[in-house]
Structure 1
Amino acid sequence: MNPTWQTGLALPLLLLPMAAAASCGSAFCTINTDWDTQTPWQENATRLDLRMEMIHQNQLRSGTDKTTAAGVTGEHDEIKTLNRNMVASVSHAFSSSLGVTLQAPLVSRDHSHVFNGVGGPEPESWNFTRLGDVRVLAHLRLDDAQSAHGQAYGLIGGVKLPTGSTKVRNTDGELAERSLQPGSGSTDVIAGGFVSGHLAQTGWHTQMNWQHAVSERQDYQPGDHVSLDAGVTYPLGMVHALAQINLLWRGHDSGRNAEPADSGGKYAYFSPGLAMPVGHNAQVYGLVQLPLYQNVNGTQLTADWAATLGLTMHF
């Protein structure tokens, strides 16, 4: 394997996962898949990462238990949400200690539910592909980047901007619920930190992030979320084995257009995968995310698995 990738795969990930969970099941993978800090930072170096995600949420859950639709008149019963996202990230290192990343998601979402009207069930569905909320993040390494000890640690900070639409309607003109929309409408602040190192041939990393909405739009404010990730990498000839534990806590949404009782929760996932170099300046990777623990507030759609496949290049 290319020595650059051998060294780089052991280091932590810059970007926090684009995590979301709501009653309608809108979501991004909680897997860390941006490799910006996984190779030695070089001044004026640029990285491009493209990844595809699929999360098929078709299991209703109440608390930690699987459940079925209640069929209450005047309310709707969720059926499924299929999330297929394309996420593009561009990172630039201005020095060995300071870098900036721009991350833009293209959200493809297919959602259906049944409204329990007085005259009987009424099926409703939405299918759209739109730009989601863009993120701008900066990272600062606090260790000596030239040191040979093989460890790195630093801070992450940034914002999520309200670039995604909050006005998507279906073919019948029905406005999608706010938690289903490609954008939250809020401006969020993001803060976190990372630590990484080596133990023999095994690379390890941990990362913690916090996200908080500081503005809202049209009486909807997404809940805070805190993520904690820990992962290892191990060389297997021409490929690297990857494994992560992803923990996520998400608070209740708030506002007149929110569903506070059916939003937020606590989640734990195991995410194994592989990465392989392609030439000298690129690698492909794939990971599968498997739930270890899901405890939702109220009743929400959840997924039995999720997957991501991507390509990263540096220039």
Structure 2
Amino acid sequence: MSLQYSFMNQNWNHSGASGQAGALNPDKQIGTNFYTLYGQHMFNDNWGVEAMLPYWMRSFTTDTSGVPGQINPSPTTRSANISSLSDLRVMGMYTGFSKDKSSGLTFGLKLPTGPVNPAPLIDRDTAPGTGTTDLLLGYYSMGNFSANWGWFSQGTWRHALNHYQGYKPGDSLNTVAGVTWNAIETSTHIIPMIQVNALWRAPDQGGGDALYGNLNSGYTNVFLAPGALIDLSRHWQANTSIYLPLYRYANGDQLVPHWMVNAGITYLF
């Protein structure tokens, strides 16, 4: 079981592969605290289930009279704050490819448990819930290069199975690959690690951006994330990472963060 915290402050307007003037984007700032509770249970050596329940605390500031791609000489800035559960993910796991369970497949659904209209200012693509049921397919794999060096990789593809109130989020693919250095674990209880996180998302369909042809949705992000695992005791482990952008491409004008941070604690049974 694990509780993870992430913070993301989207306050930089981005178009294509470069930053652009903030005045071209009616949205000015999206700051979010993410709290995610993870649980996992193995029924036997090969099959298990895991669930992820997110909770969002989000602040959103926008120019209600602005038009994407145009400078508004008389902006009308408004803000909204929301705190809500987001969409629950439930996934099955198959780990029977090898005796050490170092590789596996995941499959399941993202369920429409989060609100889609939590406040009048919140767009469909910034709401905690999408209103859709999404198919999730993924994998994980891990191993060791040597006694001191390990590696890990995982990925998840998401596809919405339906529209809800005219909105359908674009498909997404999230992949992670990283290495761990185990040489100082015995003396310090710390395992340094570094990973590359790549996220691709297709443009949405419908929603608040439909008026402009969904030109301001869909992106590609690649982050470098140094971090560490910290063994607190036999059953408790902490983790922390900071995500630094290596590459990003945004369709239209979108707000992006300069950096993101993640920290969490896990209980190992």
Paired residue for 2:236?
Answer: 282
Paired residue for 2:63?
Answer: 114
2:145 is equivalent to residue 213 of structure 1: no
Q: How does 1:164-243 map to 2 (within 5 A)?
A: 164-169=114-119, 174-200=120-146, 201-235=148-182, 236=184, 237=187, 238-243=189-194
For residue 198 of structure 2, the aligned residue among 247, 258, 273 is 247
The CA deviation at 1:248 is 1.1
The residue type equivalent to 1:253 in the other structure is D
% identical aligned pairs: 30
Paired residue for 2:249?
Answer: 295
Q: How does 1:1-315 map to 2 (within 5 A)?
A: 48-70=1-23, 77-116=26-65, 120-145=74-99, 152-169=102-119, 174-200=120-146, 201-235=148-182, 236=184, 237=187, 238-259=189-210, 260-315=214-269
Q: CA RMSD in A?
A: 1.7
Q: Contact between 1:57 and 1:81, CA under 8 Å: does it hold in 2?
A: yes
Q: Contact between 1:243 and 1:270, CA under 8 Å: does it hold in 2?
A: yes
Q: Tell me the alpha carbon deviations over residues 37-94 of structure 1, each in whole angstroms, 9 at most, x when there is no partner.
A: xxxxxxxxxxx100111001110001111111345xxxx6121111101100111111
Aligned residues: 256
The alpha-carbon distance between structure 1 residues 68 and 119, as it changes in their structure 2 partners (threshold 3 A), is closer
The CA deviation at 1:303 is 0.5
The CA deviation at 1:278 is 1.5
Segment drifting more, 91-100 vs 280-289:
91-100
SS of 2:64's partner is strand
Q: Contact between 2:125 and 2:207, CA under 8 Å: does it hold in 1?
A: no
TM-score (norm 2): 0.90
The alpha-carbon distance between structure 1 residues 248 and 215, as it changes in their structure 2 partners (threshold 3 A), is same
Segment drifting more, 239-248 vs 110-119:
110-119
Distance in 2, Cα, partners of 1:291 & 1:103:
25
The CA deviation at 1:115 is 2.6
Q: Tell me the alpha carbon deviations over residues 224-263 of structure 1, each in whole angstroms, 9 at most, x when there is no partner.
A: 0112211111122320001111111100000254442101
Distance in 2, Cα, partners of 1:256 & 1:183:
13
Q: Contact between 2:79 and 2:121, CA under 8 Å: does it hold in 1?
A: no
Distance in 2, Cα, partners of 1:180 & 1:126:
11
Paired residue for 1:9?
Answer: none
Q: Which runs of 5+ in 2 are unaligned?
A: 67-71
SS of 2:65's partner is strand
The residue type equivalent to 2:59 in the other structure is D
The residue type equivalent to 2:169 in the other structure is P
The residue type equivalent to 1:161 in the other structure is L
Distance in 2, Cα, partners of 1:86 & 1:141:
27
Segment drifting more, 55-64 vs 119-128:
119-128
SS of 2:26's partner is strand
Paired residue for 2:69?
Answer: none
Paired residue for 1:43?
Answer: none
Distance in 2, Cα, partners of 1:64 & 1:228:
20
Distance in 1, Cα, partners of 2:137 & 2:3:
23
